[in-house]
Structure formats: structure tokens, C-alpha cells
Structure 1
Amino acid sequence: MITSLQVPYSDIALEKFTYYALSQQMETLPWQPIAHVNWKEFPYKPAVHFQITHDNQRIIIHYSVQEEFVKAQYVRINEAVWEDSCVEFFVSFDGKASYYNIEFNVLGAGLIGAGSRVKDERIRLEQATTVKIQTATTVVNVGGKKKWNIILVIPTEVFVEDKIERLTGVTAHGNFFKCGDSLPTPHFLSWNKIEYPTPNFHLPDFFGELVFE
């Protein structure tokens, strides 16, 4: 089943760039679950939700995660952040012929890949492009329960293979993920369901529809 999501327009002030300042401006936006456990070999299901909005020039995504373990080994751009406590956003602006994979760990270290679904045709974007994504994070540990949040502010200029002048009126395709390949309990959750025999997020056939209002 292909899901459709309306991405609302919001005027988000970025002058005071803290997690609390940004999250307060997003508090009325609806939460969406990342809850599909697609592979029975990896049944662990942390509680993961996200909010999403845009201001024509930026996509703003707020992830909320509660999980048993939080791992943050990688601190540099383009390292293997998917092995840490990691959230991901894949998006295509050309009907799923090509797409971007945006992956960030709990520390705000990240990477962006781009290209077609053919693995050998994909590239990792340069550090100068990836650092244009701003992040704000928070981690809370209460009674042994670990909850962390991250807000990604993604400017359209990081979508280097597409010319996006404004997001309003754009219909894209994408998926949202939570993973932790090297955690004590590896897991691979998605917003839109994936039907594939082994864990793999790089499957644009299972992207949902994103309609930017």
C-alpha cells in the first residue's frame, strides 16, 4: 500500500537555532509513525514518530525516538552513521527514477547519497553540501528509558541533481526510516511498508507520496 502525506507550509523562524525553539514552533503539526517492522528476523520496534513541514526553501523534519539502546560512534560527515542510532529520509523529485538518501545519527552526524536505484550509479555528496543541513538534538534518560529527538533543516540546495525553486505545489516520493545496524538489537523500521526478503531501504518502488502544500 502506497501512503500519501500532505506536507504543510510553515513559517519557521531559524534565528534562534535550538532544539526547544524549533520544536515549539512545530508543536501543532501532526505526528506520523515510523512503525512498519518489515523483516521478522528483526522484530525489535522502538517507538518512532516524525513531524514534517516546509517553508518553500527548506524541509524541516522532527524525529522523536524512544529505544532501549542509544549508540553514537560516528562523528564525521560520510561515516557509517546507519550503524548508530539513526534516522533517515529518502526522497525523489523525478518520479522515483533517482532519489536522495539523507541519514543522520543521534549526534547530528550525517551523509547524503544521490543517484539512481543502480548501486554503482549512486554518489555520496561532498561534505560542503551535507553541512548545509542544520540539526538540533536532545537526549533524555529517565528510569532507564532513553528518548532522543532530532530536527533536520534541509535546504533545497542540497538536492543538487534537481532544480527546486519552491516546494509549494511539488509532489515528491519518499520514505522515512529508523535503523541501528550495529546496536545490540538491530532494527529496520519504515514509514511506508516495504515488501522485500532482506533489509533494504534503497527501494523507491515502496516510497510513499509527499505532497507539498
Structure 2
Amino acid sequence: MEKKFNIKRISATNVKAAEICRIMDEAGIGFVPVDNHCWAEAFPYRPKMEVRMVHNGAQLLINYRVTEETVRAVAPHDDGNVWEDSCCELFLSPVADGTYYNMECNAAGTMLIGFGPKREGRERAPQEVLDKVDRWSSLGRTPFDNIEGEQTWQLCLAVPTEAYYHHHLESFAGLQVKGNVYKCGDKLPHPHFLSLYPIDLPKPDFHRPNFFGSVVFEK
């Protein structure tokens, strides 16, 4: 049977990112491990990453939890190279039309959203779209260079339907779509690549929707 990532619907509305951990705790939402250690031979370091998500129709609420030996978040502004930092990513195809969105956010809440059918020629979301995503990080929102020594940090995103700006989604409710969740850090002392659904390729490449798995939003 195909593995599915199920996203429960909650009643809370107009949720701020700083409230997400409490709301999910109160709703009894557990974390799911993001534990496919991609390209382990070339990149043997393996941090710990978990994710949990809920939605309220109008918002997708995401909570990432990471334990790693070095944390980095130097990207100075949105739409920068956040994948080079300690970065959590959700790739999602909300409509089965051959396109997908890559939503990538570093440990300081600096993010980018890309759109298109493949890795090449992706369109970056304008700042007014990025500003619609409320963000909270346990490490604060100010960029920082390497913090050494193992620690656990959390990142929360309150993502409105408008963030998927090419598709004018009315609601997340009932969507049965494809996607994947990733953790990377291309310029950390020990680069690494983790995924929710496995990727069977010889070299690192998250932009492969043919390896996306099922993501089901409760009605």
C-alpha cells in the first residue's frame, strides 16, 4: 500500500506562526520522521528531522523540528540561497498539471518560493506573496552564521492558499496531491540531504516530482 502523508483539519482560524506549536500540541498532532537519508555514501552525516502539518482550509500550518550539529542561516533576505543554510523544504503539486511549488525556509525563517514544471527556469514568487507566509523560528528571525554544537530547533510556517499563487486555491480541504519534504544544508560543515519520500537517483536533486508521494488534506 502506498504511503500517505495525512494532514488533519483543525477549527482554529487566522493562526499566527508563533501559535502553531501550541495548537498542534493541544490537538495531539504527532511528528512524522523525515528519515530517508539520500545519497548517504557521499554525504554520510545524518541530522534528525521531523515534521507535522495541519490545515484549517485557508491555511496550511507547518512545524519542522531539527536536531543537528551545526546550524546556519546567513541568507540576508527572502529569495536568497536558503538551501545553502540549515533549510527545511516542502515541495507540493496542488494541482495535477505538471507543475509544483518549492517552498524553502532556513532556520531564521528566511524563505523562497519557486514555481514551474522542472528544476530549470523556475519562477520566484514576488515579495508580496512571500510576505503572506507568517514565520516563527525558535532561533529568532535575524540571520546568523554557524552555531556549533548539537542543538534542536523548530520552525513554524502559516501558509495561506494565496502562497500557491498560480492556482487560486479556494481551500486546502479535501486536496489529494503529491509532494515531498526535505532537509538540506549545502554549505554546512557536513552537507546532508533528507527526504520524507525516497529519491532513487545517483546525485542530489530534490526537483524530481516523479519521486513525490501522496499528501492528503482532510475535508
TM-score (norm. length: structure 1) = 0.92
Displacement after TM superposition at 1:75 (Å): 2.7
Q: Which amino acid aligns with 1:45?
A: R
CA distance in 1: counterparts of 2:209 and 2:76, whole angstroms: 28
CA distance in 2: counterparts of 1:18 and 1:167, whole angstroms: 18
Unpaired runs of at least 5, structure 2: 141-147
Displacement after TM superposition at 1:96 (Å): 6.2
Provide runs of 4+ in structure 1 moved above 4 Å: none
Match 1:25 to one of 4, 23, 26: 23
Asked if structure 1 preserves the Cα contact closer than 8 Å seen for 2:17 and 2:156, the reply is no
* RMSD across aligned positions (CA): 1.9
CA distance in 2: counterparts of 1:18 and 1:36, whole angstroms: 27
Match of 2:72 in 1: 71
Say yes or no: does 1:155 pair with 2:160. Answer: yes
Match of 1:208 in 2: 213
Match of 2:55 in 1: 54
Q: Report matched runs for 1:35-114 at 5 Å.
A: 35-39=35-39, 40-95=41-96, 97-114=98-115
Displacement after TM superposition at 1:187 (Å): 0.4
CA distance in 2: counterparts of 1:187 and 1:168, whole angstroms: 33
CA distance in 2: counterparts of 1:169 and 1:13, whole angstroms: 17
Match of 2:144 in 1: none
SS class of match (2:190): coil
TM-score (norm. length: structure 2) = 0.89
SS class of match (2:20): helix
Match of 1:180 in 2: 185
Map Cα deviations across residues 119-178 of structure 1 (whole Å, 9 max, x no partner): 12x2111111111111111039xx943111000111011111112111111111100000
Q: Report matched runs for 1:121-136 at 5 Å.
A: 122-136=122-136
Q: Which amino acid aligns with 1:30?
A: G
